């Protein structure tokens, strides 16, 4: 019987039959794992809450014909408990989990994305930064790791030194007036500088940004992510309704 063991963070799942559930785990060494947790929806399940979203786990799976089967789970860090207690943190973590899933579903090597997600969710749990700032920083870095790092100072098209006001997701970030397509967003310079601070981890500058610039930056990040993923991130609707 072929089995494997790894650590990972639960990023989703859905019901299967009357008592089972398909669990989606972003793992350190085995990419994005989709596996069946048998009987998990019964009250006497031996796995129980250990496979709830945002739990950091050590798990073992048996390799199945179509789907692997979870055979053992040990809890490393119960992120879900702190996340569920704060709606803003839950909203941010939901977007993080969905984005991580989209970025890794076709990638065999996901260790860097895994470590980035774990770090971001742990930061949410520890209340290190405001949840929306943590989310925007995570999204920018996750896109960069995936090969879509936005240009936030020099023009994404011609390379002219910035900062520049125009921001085009399709062209790769900030663009100069000569390269700016018609209808491109025109955020303030402060907003672009805020995005650069989030991407680089300059939290002192990021947290000092005015609220309206921070909100404008969040909208740009949302546009950028959805453009490059070429699909709607459903969990963004949680943020819009918050």
Q: Give the tens place of pLDDT for each residue, 80-108.
A: 989 999 999 999 999 999 999 999 998 88
pLDDT at 120 over 70: yes
Percent above pLDDT 90 for the chain: 74
The CA distances from residue 54 to 60, 89, 178, 183, in Å, are 17, 11, 45, 39
Is residue 163 reached through a cis peptide bond, with omega within 30 degrees of 0 on the bond before it?
yes
Q: Per-residue DSSP letters for 94-139?
A: HHHHHHHHHHHTT-S--HHHHHHHHHHHHHHHTT-S-HHHHHHHHH
3-77: CATH, from 2.40.340.10, 2.60.120.620, 3.40.50.300, 2.40.50.140: 2.40.50.140
The bridge status of strand 3-16 relative to strand 56-62 is antiparallel
The conformation of residue 81, written as its DSSP 8-state character, comes to H
Structure confidence at residue 1 as a pLDDT band (50, 70, 90): low
Are 121 and 80 a contacting pair, CB within 8 Å? no
Measured CA to CA, the distance from residue 55 to residue 5 in angstroms comes to: 16
10 Cβ contact partners less than 8 Å away, ≥ 6 residues apart? 23, 24, 25, 51, 52, 53, 54, 55, 57, 80
Architecture of domain 81-241 in this structure: Up-down Bundle (1.20)
Could you read off the pLDDT of 159-178 as tens digits, one per residue? 999 888 899 999 999 999 99
Measured CA to CA, the distance from residue 156 to residue 9 in angstroms comes to: 34
Give the start-to-end residue ranges of the domains of the chain.
3-77, 81-241
Structure confidence at residue 9 as a pLDDT band (50, 70, 90): very high
Measured in whole angstroms, how far is the alpha carbon of residue 122 from the centre of its chain?
13
Measured in whole angstroms, how far is the alpha carbon of residue 17 from the centre of its chain?
29
The candidate with the shortest Cα–Cα distance to 157, out of 144, 145, 167, is 167
Coil/strand/helix, residue 231: coil
Higher pLDDT, 148 or 40: 148
| CB-facing half-sphere around the CA of 227: CA atoms within 13 A | 17
Measured CA to CA, the distance from residue 122 to residue 79 in angstroms comes to: 7
The two structure tokens encoding residue 10: 């639960």
Same fold, 3-77 and 81-241: no
Measured CA to CA, the distance from residue 9 to residue 56 in angstroms comes to: 4
Strand partners, 34: 24
Q: Which helix (H) or strand (E) holds 68?
A: strand 68-77
């Amino acid at each position: 019987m072929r089995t494997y063991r790894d650590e990972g963070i639960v990023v989703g799942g859905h019901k299967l039959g009357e008592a089972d559930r398909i669990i989606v785990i972003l793992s350190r060494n085995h990419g994005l794992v989709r596996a069946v947790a048998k009987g998990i929806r019964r009250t006497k399940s031996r796995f129980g809450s250990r496979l709830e979203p945002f739990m950091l786990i050590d798990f073992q799976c048996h390799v199945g014909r179509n789907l692997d089967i979870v055979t053992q789970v040990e809890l490393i860090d119960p992120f879900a408990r702190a996340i569920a207690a704060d709606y803003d943190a839950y909203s941010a973590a939901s977007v993080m989990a969905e984005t991580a899933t989209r970025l890794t579903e076709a990638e065999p090597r996901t260790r860097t994305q895994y470590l980035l997600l774990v770090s971001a969710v742990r930061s949410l749990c520890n209340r290190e930064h405001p949840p929306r700032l943590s989310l925007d920083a995570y999204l920018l870095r996750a896109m960069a790791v995936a090969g879509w790092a936005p240009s936030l100072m020099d023009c994404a098209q011609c390379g002219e030194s910035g900062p520049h006001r125009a921001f085009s997701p399709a062209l790769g970030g900030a663009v100069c007036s000569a390269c700016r397509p018609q209808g491109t967003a025109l955020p303030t310079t402060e907003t672009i500088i805020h995005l650069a601070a989030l991407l680089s981890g300059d939290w002192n500058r990021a947290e000092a940004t005015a609220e309206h610039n921070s909100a404008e930056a969040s909208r740009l990040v949302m546009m950028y992510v959805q453009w490059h993923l070429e699909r709607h991130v459903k969990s963004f609707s949680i943020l819009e309704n918050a």
